Amino acid sequence: MKRPRFIASAWVAGAALFSFAGPAAAAAPPQHITFPADVSSSFDDCGFVVDFVQTGTFHVTLWRNEAGLVFREQDGGSSVHQTFTREDTGKTISMVLAQPSQADYGSGAVLGSPVRVTFVGNAFMLPGVGADAGRIVVTGTVADFTPEGVPLVLLPDQEPLFLAGHHPDEDLCAALS
């Protein structure tokens, strides 16, 4: 199973919805948005049901071009916790998400447009494996927008454009077995 990843305001196993630097001229000062993270879901990719809960506070900064389109985004969080629980045994793994990101939308985010996303920091940690931490650069596509105008980006399961740091081949399913 691929590791789950949070991006912007949605988490999806195997893919994520998300949102870095673009054109030099911005039409307005950056827009700062803060929202609570309170996400829960379940998946059965492991051959058993795993419940996922993510809580904390996310901070998003958007830069817009003269046309009002988001061309750059910076995301971070405070006290963002992720918990995975095997439903039938109650075995639980919890960790703090400390992985700020930046998104580059080129000339501006519109539905279907490409985005280049850079993650830096600690993405994931499993007992006995160590942190999955460093720098990862991937590409995606704008799939939707929140009511506040934050682009939500689909990041398909893909090889990264750039990978540096410590990125072990983690297995959440084995850790919960």
- Tens of pLDDT, residues 35-48: 898 999 999 988 99
CA distance 152 to 18: 5
Q: Report pLDDT digits (tens) over 7-65.
A: 333 333 333 444 333 344 546 899 999 989 899 999 998 899 999 999 999 999 999 99
Q: Which two tokens stand for residue 104?
A: 């580059």
Distance CA 94, CA 58 (A): 18
* For the chain, percent of residues with pLDDT exceeding 90: 58
